[in-house]
Structure 1
């Protein structure tokens, strides 16, 4: 454990899916005797287990986790809600510890905690309803194409297979005439704690191999049965995401199971590429290869011992 410092520090672990962020977060939590916040936008949901690659029972027992199985897919839990709730949890951890750890690959959620969210404009609810009806009647591709045309920068930053993200970007520009991408980079709230950002990455071929192996493991662990059990929740936004929507298409006899698995791998690889595009813009992230836990600890200790840590750095 490090020597006592005047300031509390949040360690943010980021990177693409399947890179090993969970293992690193647990190793750091055990080393520094602290707790973990998940900033994965799907691990909040208790109904979604296998397809979200949550920490397993042993991993959850190794360190205290927050925002794992904390909500139901039937509940709305926005990025703004996460900002508020996560800051409360961080304050609670800091009552007893000097460090807290946040881990995840959801750039918007990470950003909400580190920098705060910009004030969003009022949305015309009639436009939102119309877009939701359009999604149901015409499918996601129509929404994707409209958003790409009207706000390509936002379209390329977020999960394009997430209908909620697509509709959010589209409803803003249709309601206000302003692009959501232009609203996500101006305001940065100052935090009361230091921030150290650690990124995990490896060469593209190794990453894609890890992703493919993870998907195969999910299928072995019963992803098909899990998705079958969630048919009643099918229309909830959380389930219109990679790993679930493809299996639903199989169950609807639109594609074969082999095609569904291949699409999960392809869509996950594309998602990982977008995650890296998001995080690579941040020059303050300290990048490491998976498995370099000792080097990460050395770097964190160097930062803790120096004045390099800054209040609320930018993750845009």
Structure 2
């Protein structure tokens, strides 16, 4: 039976380096929040410095769900994220905590709010053809290829957005249909299982973009000092 009264979910999103995680941890000092990561890189183990994960001491004080889920060599898609995220949200409600989704991976957040479109499964052979051509001629050439087959999709996908180009072209080649024909409108109500939910969204916007750039530069320098290059080299040898 559906519960009539909605439960709360807090979403904190915004550009890289603006302070989403810091804000969530400050809020958790005063409120019963359960922090749930919405970051497509933090799901991977061993990508600690480059993904700007919270420190071990911060994670001990402010536990985060959906961090360090899989090894880097294994794929992790949005469908898997939704399964984990919905489970974490329900567990938070059971503990009388407010789920707090924190991150800037818009695909994760949009798919959670609007649901996944019924797209066809990936085709490894088609993707191989696309990637081989991209390696030889560049992604703008893939955009031209898509424009010849699906001009409507090409118009709304940037020539440098490789993942979206690949998916749109793959769908067109595999089905003969535009990827836009598979896109659906989101539900009128946001549901987690049989529970209606109310969302409060905090979208952090930089008051001064130059200061944000300076902050990102300082953060990158700090990553280098902490061993980012060694982390990358270690991952490449796995």
**Normalised TM-score (structure 2):** 0.81
Aligned equivalent of 1:215? 220
Q: Is the 8 A contact 2:12 2:103 kept in 1?
A: yes
Q: Is the 8 A contact 2:143 2:165 kept in 1?
A: yes
Aligned equivalent of 1:9? 8
Aligned equivalent of 2:231? 226
Mapping for residues 139-178 of structure 1, pairs under 5 Å: 142-143=141-142, 146=145, 151-152=153-154, 155-156=157-158, 160=161, 164-178=163-177
Aligned equivalent of 1:199? 203
Deviations 1:132-186 (A, max 9, x none): 4445666656546656885346534x983xx545422331233234444564452
Deviations 1:244-268 (A, max 9, x none): xxxxxxxxxxxxxxxxxxxxxxxxx
Q: Is the 8 A contact 1:148 1:155 kept in 2?
A: no
The verdict on how the C-alpha distance between 1:36 and 1:154 changes in structure 2, with shifts beyond 3 A counting, is farther
Moved more, 188-197 or 173-182: 173-182
Aligned equivalent of 1:115? 114
State the 1:40 CA deviation.
0.5
State the 1:62 CA deviation.
2.2
Q: Is the 8 A contact 2:36 2:100 kept in 1?
A: yes
Which has the higher relative contact order, 1 or 2, with Cα contacts under 8 A spaced 6 or more apart?
A: 2
State the 1:122 CA deviation.
4.3
Aligned equivalent of 1:86? 85
**Structure 2: 5+ residue runs without aligned partners?**
none
Mapping for residues 1-316 of structure 1, pairs under 5 Å: 6-135=5-134, 142-143=141-142, 146=145, 151-152=153-154, 155-156=157-158, 160=161, 164-180=163-179, 183-184=182-183, 186-188=185-187, 190-191=190-191, 192-202=196-206, 203-232=208-237
**Structure 2 CA distance, aligned partners of 1:159 and 1:62?**
40
**Structure 2 CA distance, aligned partners of 1:60 and 1:121?**
38
Deviations 1:117-136 (A, max 9, x none): 11113454431232244456
Q: Is the 8 A contact 1:35 1:101 kept in 2?
A: yes
Deviations 1:165-224 (A, max 9, x none): 542233123323444456445233631211110011112212222222222221121111
**Structure 2 CA distance, aligned partners of 1:208 and 1:147?**
34
State the 1:44 CA deviation.
0.4
**Normalised TM-score (structure 1):** 0.63
Q: Is the 8 A contact 2:32 2:97 kept in 1?
A: no
